[in-house]
Amino acid sequence: MNPHRRSIFVKTMTFLVYSFLYLPIFVLIIYSFNSSKTNILFEGVISKFGDLQIVDGNVLQSPCGPFHWFCELAKNKEVRSAAGNTLEIAFISTISSTIIGTLAALALSRYNFKLKPFSEMSLYIPIVIPEIVMGIGILTFFSQVFNYLNSLIGLQGDARLGLGLFTVIVSHIAFSVPFVVLVVRARLQGMDQSYEEAAMDLGANELTTFFRVTLPMLLPGVLSGGLMAFTLSLDDFVITFFTNGPGSTTLPIYVFGLLRKIITPQVNALSTIWIMVVFTVVLLLQWLQNRESSHK
């Protein structure tokens, strides 16, 4: 049997699966250049640096040509603020959850303690329960804690503790840690501990062994877990919806607000930019993983 030979059925099914996954994304990108403001039908690409009618009776000069809607997004302060909040939340929660998840994976894989079965079981709870249940639970927790602290300290008015960027970041960390733990533990299962033992036999202490031997060997798993945490934070809507407050609107929340009115090319353009950002991050991390593997 020729391992490189593929039947027509396999080729057809492969084409259908990839079309089902990526054709909607391709259509979304095309509609980002739609000349129609309503975006219900595709009326053509903005092909020249000329006039663009966006409201009945009003004509707007479009110096950006086909990228008119992208330029409109760049001028929108609400979009810039939402993008900044999203990236800030994603970076902080990713770094925090990756550190916590890596250390937790090492503890669960290398040590035995009384609460280990409970700890392992509790890691699956954020993964298996619906996000809306977790979002309501986190909202209830923060509401009770803030009410207690406000009453205890006597805070009033604008000084009262409430929902904001901090609560969203903490929620994303709590949601992302289990995914990082699972990925890093999978990497630990295939790692040879004899390298660590050899380092300790040569006089290295536990801290030196971790940074010089264990962490470099774990790095592909750590990067994969961090990438998963980053993408989960970027795309999360449900948990963010329940835990955000004034000044902490993220892009998913902002897009949801736009969709409640009408789907415009701006929504598609914003989604296209976000796809490119995630795609760039994935390529960067893939390059780092390949570079790490080639050095070995």
The pTM of this model reads 0.78
Which of 65 and 51 is assigned the larger pLDDT?
65
β-partners of residue 202 are: none
Q: Is residue 53 assigned to a domain?
A: no
The answer to whether residue 280 is domain-embedded is no
What is the model's pLDDT at position 83? Answer: 83
For position 148, which CATH number holds?
1.10.3720.10
User: Could you tell me if residue 244 is inside a domain?
Assistant: yes
Q: What is the pLDDT of residues 1-48, one digit of tens each?
A: 555 566 788 888 888 999 998 888 888 888 777 766 666 666 666 655
* Within-domain flag for 154: yes
Contacts of 212 (CB under 8 A, 6+ apart): 199, 204
Is residue 277 one of the residues assigned to a domain?
no
Does residue 81 sit within a domain? yes
pLDDT value at residue 156: 76
Average pLDDT of the segment spanning 111-120: 82
- pLDDT at 57 > cutoff 60: no
Give the distance from CA 187 to its chain's centroid: 21
Over residues 150-171, mean pLDDT: 82
pLDDT score, position 128: 85
Return the higher-pLDDT residue of 210 and 296: 210
* Residue 156: inside a domain: yes
Could you tell me the pLDDT band of residue 54, with boundaries at 50, 70 and 90?
Answer: very low
Q: Is 64 domain-assigned?
A: no
User: 135-144, 222-231, 239-248, 283-292: lowest mean pLDDT where?
Assistant: 283-292
Count of structural domains, the chain: 1
Domain extent for 123 = 77-261
